[in-house]
Amino acid sequence: MGSRVVGASPMSPSYGSGAAVVRQGTAHGDGWGCWGSPAWRRGAAWDPCVCPAGMGFQRSHRLNLLRLIVLLLVALAGIKFLFRDSFTLELPKHVSKDSGFWGDAGETIEDTGPQSQVLVLPVAKITAPRQEPGQQQVTRDIRATKMRLVHLDLKGAAPRVSYLEQVFPLLSLLGANGVLIEYEDMFPFKGELEVLKSPYAYSEEDIERIQQLAELHKLEVVPLVQTFGHAEFILKHEKYQRLREVERFPNSFNPHIPDTLALLKSILSQVIEKHKRSTWIHIGADEVFHLGEGMDSKNWMSRNKGDMGTMYLNHIKEVLGFITTQYWGLRALMWDDMLRKISVGALQESGIAKHVSPVVWFYAPDFEAEQIVPFLTKYAESGFEAVWFASAFKGTTGPAQAWPPLSFHLRNHLSWLRVMEALPQLAPLRLQGIVLTGWQRYDHYSVLCELLPVGIPSLAICLQTLVTGGFTEETKKKVLDVLGFESMQLEQSTCEGRGVFPGAEIYHMVEQVNGHLKESIHKALEEESAIKGWFSPYHRKHQFANPRNMESFGSKVLKLHEDWESFIRDLRTQLERVYYPDTVEEWMEENVNPYLDQLRDLVQDYRAIIRLNARPKAT
């Protein structure tokens, strides 16, 4: 401790204190005592000849005494540092509205005095009081947790790199310092693996550009490769069907076939080799559906007392063994849900705790720290030293959800803040970071969830909530200012104002589609009495109608159709700037065509039948 203080840098806490004085004394020898004399403080020039020779002993004694005082101060500081948690637990902890909950290690949190809407956390409790949106969350200082990863799920609606070029600066501004990229079939696989890539997959140049952009905006890129479950994009191909756990389902790998591991090594190698800047790799390994149902697995379990947990871990060990052997220093992450079901003994025996950190995911809006305790306790007892958490800013409220519920996702992050506050009392684990997941599909075969531009306001709210330690008026103002909105209504999941963030036009246009397209068409077709009475499906089928009656509703229907067609053309133009053609077509077919096609068909029949000039019914 002593040598560290003496060598303190100008940025260290010791600089300018007793340690700095010692350095001055060393430079000037015994003249140090005269620097502290009243004559020196009054501004008299220092001259070593002025000091009487008889004062040498006194100066030496005084020097030794001051050195002793400095050493005592250093020792006290060391004791306080070692027992800082004990001291902290003696008093309730406050966090000001401007405090940097996820701030850099060099930042400090200052108590700015009593704040409105500040909650005090009774430190003896495991959970903090429930926080409603708009209230300040009280947190301990966990500034050492530096990683805040935004999840980019590319198995659906993968954006063009030109859009990421606009989004990455925003992510950094909002407090993210990394992106977790789940490429799936958007990665430019080559050679034997080329069959895996989408027709619109990124090129190798795109992958490099993404990393350059991330580096420019101080975002760590963490690639995610599914290595057990959620392997549909691989196992759907006839070439790899034999590697399925259950022949009928493309969800999960059969871990007993040697070619499974060989294939995974090839996939991992190609991805890792294109991410040489990355220090982390995520191996997925969640939701391994149907594990144990294949014949090979049944035979293995019959010989091993039905121990499915060990069977799962054996495969994970093989994957991790490859990574640690071939890519020394690359750290691994994995989703934790499968680990929750496995015994502490099996986890300890596997030894995976030395090579991977579990990412505990929980997406419910309101949960208590106690719900996470069993998992954290198990992981600590199993030998894990660090853990990650995973929240959600979109993609968890329904497989076909088109508009993110803001309050739902905000409350999920407020719940995670309570867990972070209580973590030291829950389990002896170090929190390394949090992943803000933004799922684009529930799996490879499901429809699209909320588009990324539509989810940006939710992401901004959630990120800033983590950064500031709660959702206060200051937090809200920061989000509104960054996004260019005037106001927001959390419960209604709406934001008012033009918006200046990348994709703001798509945000507003999807809002119109989501809120008005279906309703307006339903009102025209189902509630217009003239249509129901004189232009029913029967009339249209037999081309039998009176122009006099048709004209009573025709202008309104034609105008509605014209307005929506014009609007959708503009929307398509905006979507094509961000997305590839397959995404645009899929989104239109799922969210526009089911409703607009009804109006299109009605208008087509209207135009055809009115030209018949009230002819007899067609047979």
Report d(CA 304, CA 311) in Å as an integer.
9
Phi first, then psi: what are they for 209, rounded to 5°? Answer: -65, -40
With contact defined as beta carbons under 8 Å apart, do 222 and 281 qualify? yes
Single out the catalytic residue among 287, 368, 474, 528: 287
Report d(CA 275, CA 206) in Å as an integer.
12
- 383, burial (CB in 10 Å: exposed 0-12, middle 13-18, buried 19+): middle
The string of DSSP codes covering 165-216 is: HHHHHHHHHHT--EEEEE-GGGS---GGGGGGS-TTPPPHHHHHHHHHHHHH
Tokens of 439: 């799922």
HEC per residue, 283-316: CCCCCCCCCCCCHHHHHHHHHCCCCHHHHHHHHH
Report d(CA 257, CA 259) in Å as an integer.
5
Report d(CA 282, CA 87) in Å as an integer.
37
With contact defined as beta carbons under 8 Å apart, do 413 and 200 qualify? no
Tokens of 398: 């329904």
Report d(CA 328, CA 591) in Å as an integer.
46
Active site residue 205: no
What torsion do the CA atoms of 39, 40, 45, 46 make, to the nearest 10 degrees? 110
Report d(CA 558, CA 560) in Å as an integer.
5
Give every CB contact of residue 411 below 8 A, 6+ residues apart in sequence: 133, 365, 366
Q: Is 13 helix (H, G, I), strand (E, B) or coil?
A: coil
Start-to-end CA distance of the chain, whole Å, equals: 100
Report d(CA 184, CA 186) in Å as an integer.
6
| Residue owning tokens 């992106």 | 179
Q: Where are the alpha helices (DSSP H) in 274-405?
A: 295-303, 308-326, 344-350, 373-381
Give every CB contact of residue 597 below 8 A, 6+ residues apart in sequence: none
139: left (phi over 0), alpha (psi -120 to 50) or beta: beta
Report d(CA 480, CA 474) in Å as an integer.
10
- Alpha-carbon distances of 540 from 145, 155, 536, 611, rounded to whole Å: 65, 42, 6, 13
Report d(CA 157, CA 582) in Å as an integer.
8
Contacts of the segment 106-113: beta carbons below 8 A, 24+ positions apart: 106/11, 107/143, 109/141
The count of residues in the chain is 619
Report d(CA 182, CA 41) in Å as an integer.
65
Residues paired with residue 435 on neighbouring β-strands, in sequence order:
149, 390
Q: What residues are annotated to the active site? A: 287
